[in-house]
Chains A and B, each alone.
Chain A
Amino acid sequence: MSALAALIRRDIRIALRVGGGALIGVLFFLTVTVLMPFAVGPDLALLSRLGPAILWLGALLASLLTLDRLFTADHDDGSLDLVVMSRTPLELACAAKALAHWLAAGLPLIIATPALGLLLNLDGTATLAVALTLLAGTPALTFTGMIGAALAVTLHRGGLLLAVLVLPLSIPVLIFGVAASQAAISGPLSFGTPFSILCALSLVSFVLGPFAAAASLRHGLD
């Protein structure tokens, strides 16, 4: 257990230091959201209708941005070899790395959401609903994205390929995330239905992600 705690602590520490990915993600999220009103125009009603979708897309792209370095950084400096050799099961190490990545790169996005909601003319309830769905859904993005990140190690320079591999996997999360937010804002569906499915998607990804990533890493060593 202390081995996993050490791994999580190290990854968060690196992400928060200069050159780490944590703040880059938030800045990117901010940029995407700020650009949207310029593209869509100053129609406030339209903006608030599109708001949840824009926030979700922004969060999706921002969480992808730093994901490709999840394993390649460790592979490039040789750390991955030692992680594979260690007495900690590789599946657990993968899960720990994904958790650290979510804490460092995913959580700040959710914290930034209320501020960005203002830019999109979302009221308090709507912003809260979006933040809540992001809280339930972004872990699924990280844990499924981890599979792509592990494949990127095998396919050298797979950074761009990662987006192609991972984005289709994130479609269900996007659909139910936005559906739950819309349900909370305007109805007519109840909030609980799509939100439960969103939570279920996250739970499934907790189980599948680490195993698929570990299998891919083991297979891809050279």
Chain B
Amino acid sequence: MRLSGRNLRCVRGGREVFSALDFSVSSGEALTVLGPNGSGKTSLLRLIAGLLVPADGAIALNGGEAELSVSEQAHYLGHRDALKPALSVLENLSFWRDFLGGEMQDARQCLAAVALDHATDLPAAYLSAGQRRRLSIARLLAVRRPVWLLDEPTSALDAAGQELFVGLMRQHLGRGGIIIAATHLPLGIEAGELRMRGPA
């Protein structure tokens, strides 16, 4: 499987964020997107996730399921956690598992994998920032998708959480997955680098 973007150009609010951007990641590989604030790291991830439309260029996933678009085969872990404060930890995760569909895992096991299994019935409103992040990461495990798009995935995680997440990313790559992560901190796994130019 190979995820690639060719000659990508992104325009937001009438301003060009980046142009003539190429990247390519193969199965089992990770790519970190580096660059100063405002250089378009998040924009690039949202472009791949299909949440922004490129002004030019194309993104393709070769070797994936032909009938599905790139965004339908990707997980997006953004700044916002997509959690409902009124629902419990388990209800939040079970909802995304059922809604996203595909190859599903047991929700309780996924919570155990991110060390949140002691808080399954706690409303998400009472979670700390790090716990919220762990719950979002559990979503990546609950439904299997070959491509992970991660935006500052380790922010708010403590040392143990980061270590745990490195293990989960290794597992994902070992299964032939693809990771693209925008980050300021070292990811903790071997990864290619894509440097974004700063704002012009």
- Assess whether A7 is in contact with B74, with CB atoms less than 8 Å apart: no
Q: Which residues of A contact B118 (CB under 8 A)?
A: none
* Number of inter-chain CB pairs below 8 Å: 81
Specify which of B78, B95, B102 is in contact with A81 (CB 8 Å cutoff). B78
Bound: A222/B46 CA distance, A = 9
Stretch at the interface among B82-90, B172-180, B183-191: B82-90
Would B86 and A14 count as touching, CB distance under 8 A?
A: yes
User: How many A residues face the partner with a CB closer than 8 A?
Assistant: 27
Measured in the bound complex, the distance between the Cα atoms of B102 and A3 in whole Å is: 10
Residue of B nearest to A14 (CB): B86
Interface of chain B: mostly helix, strand, loop or mixed: loop
Chain A residue contacts of B121, Cβ below 8 A: none
Q: Does B81 contact A (CB under 8 A)?
A: yes
Indicate the size class of the contact surface on chain B.
Answer: 20 to 34
Q: Which residues of A contact B51 (CB under 8 A)?
A: 81, 84-85, 221
- Which of A14, A18, A81 is B76 in contact with, Cβ under 8 Å? A81
Known: A10-B87, A13-B87, A81-B49. A87 touches B100 (CB 8 A): yes
Are the CB atoms of B81 and A78 closer together than 8 Å?
yes
Q: Which residues of B contact A85 (CB under 8 A)?
A: 49-51, 71-72, 74, 76
Is B68 an interface residue, CB under 8 A from the partner? Answer: yes
With an 8 A cutoff between CB atoms, is B195 at the interface?
Answer: no
Q: Which of B86-119 contact A (CB under 8 A)?
A: 86-87, 91, 94-96, 98-102
| Nearest CB in chain A: distance from B52 CB, A | 7
A82-B96 contact given A14-B86, A77-B84, A87-B68, CB 8 Å threshold: yes
Complex interface residues of chain A between 10 and 48 (CB less than 8 A to chain B): 10, 13-14, 17-20
List 25 A–B pairs whose Cβ atoms lie within 8 Å, in order of A's numbering: A3-B99, A6-B95, A6-B99, A7-B99, A10-B95, A13-B86, A13-B91, A14-B84, A77-B81, A77-B84, A78-B78, A81-B51, A81-B82, A82-B99, A84-B50, A85-B49, A85-B50, A85-B51, A85-B76, A86-B99, A87-B68, A87-B72, A87-B101, A88-B99, A222-B12
Binding site for B on A (CB under 8 A): 2-3, 5-7, 9-10, 13-14, 17-20, 76-79, 81-88, 221-222
